[in-house]
Amino acid sequence: MPLRDFVSKIQGADLARPNKYAVKILGAPVGRELYIEYMAESVSFPGQNVRASTDLLRYGPQREVAHAMTYGSFNITFMCTTGMPEKLWFESWQDEMVNKNTWEAKFYEEYVASIELVALDRNEKDSYRCTVYEAYPKTITAQEFSYGSTGAYQTVSVEFAYRWWDAVGFKPSQTPATKLMTPPVPELNPIKAKTQTKEEVRASDRHPPLADEVGFNDVPVSNPADQMFYPSPGQPVSQSPNNDFGEGIGDNRNQ
C-alpha cells in the first residue's frame, strides 16, 4: 500500500484506543449494579481458538484440519471502595452457583449471565461490541495488602468462564479532526522541491547555501567570480568584467 493511501486510511478511520471501553453485565442472578460497571479499571477482551488435529489418512505433507472452536477465560479488574462491596457482589454471585450450607451445585442456567465488552471511539460511541454468553465469575483472585502501599487503592480481579462469544463492528461516528501528519507528504521538504538553475547548482558546490538548516546566512552570498582569488588550474569559474584585472579571471590562470 502506498504511504499516501495508508495515511489517508488512518486519518479517515482513526486508531482504536485501549483506554476507551465499557463493561456491561446483563442478567446476573444477584441483580444488576450499574456502578460496578464503572469501576472496571481494566479488562481483557476474550480470544478465540480453533481446535485442530492432524490428518493422517493421506500421503504427503500433513494437514491440520479444524474441528471446533475453543474459548479461554478472561479477566476484569475492578476498583474497590471502602468495605469492598464490589468484591462482596461477586461473592454473592458465586453463592448462587454453589450452596455453602449443603455444598450442592445449582442448575447451570440459574447463574450464568451475558457480558458486553464495548470498545469506544473518540466520541464515546460504540465501535466494537463483544457479547459473551453464559458467563459466570469462576475465580475471585486473592488481594494483597501491605504497609508499603501508601496512597494506593485496592482492586479485585475476577476471572470469568463462559461458553462462547460473538462480536460486531460499527463505522466511525465522526471523522477525527486531528491530522497525523502535518504538513502533507509532498511538502515535507519544500527547499529540496525547488528547481535550481545551472548557476545556482555551480555556486552551491563552492559556498554555503543561501539559508542553512538553523536559519542563519539569510543574506545572499556574493558571486565567487566577483571575489579576488586564484582558482586551481582546470577549475571552471564565472567570468566577470568588473574585477581588478580588467579582464576575465579565466584569462590570467596561466600567468
HEC profile for 177-193?
A: CCCCCCCCHHHCCCCCC
| pLDDT digit string, tens, across residues 220-233 | 555 555 555 555 55
Query: Could you give the residue ranges of the DSSP H alpha helices within 40-189?
Result: 85-95, 108-111
Structural domain includes residue 180: no
Quote the longest CA-to-CA distance of the chain: 119
SS3 89: helix
Judged against a pLDDT cut of 90, whether residue 214 lies above it is answered with no
Judged against a pLDDT cut of 90, whether residue 171 lies above it is answered with no
Residues 27 and 148 in one domain: yes
Which pLDDT belongs to residue 47? 94
Residues 216 and 157 in one domain: no
Residues 26 and 121 in one domain: yes
Total-model pTM: 0.64
Residues 115 and 211 in one domain: no
Which pLDDT belongs to residue 185? 42
Structural domain includes residue 153: yes
Structural domain includes residue 100: yes
Average pLDDT, whole number, for the chain? Answer: 79
Structural domain includes residue 184: no
Domain CATH code at residue 13: 2.30.110
Which pLDDT belongs to residue 78? 97
How many structural domains comprise the chain?
Answer: 2
What domain range includes position 78? Answer: 3-48+70-169
| Mean of pLDDT values over 200-208 | 52
Mean pLDDT is highest, among 34-38, 157-161, 236-240, for 157-161
φ, ψ for residue 131 (rounded to 5)?
-105, 120
> Rounded CA gap, 74 and 45, in Å?
7
Grid look-up 464490589 returns 86
Q: Which of 120, 121, 116, 158 is nearest to 139 (CA)?
A: 158
Residue 49: what residue type? N
Structural domain includes residue 31: yes
Mean pLDDT is highest, among 139-148, 201-210, 222-231, for 139-148
| Mean of pLDDT values over 186-210 | 51
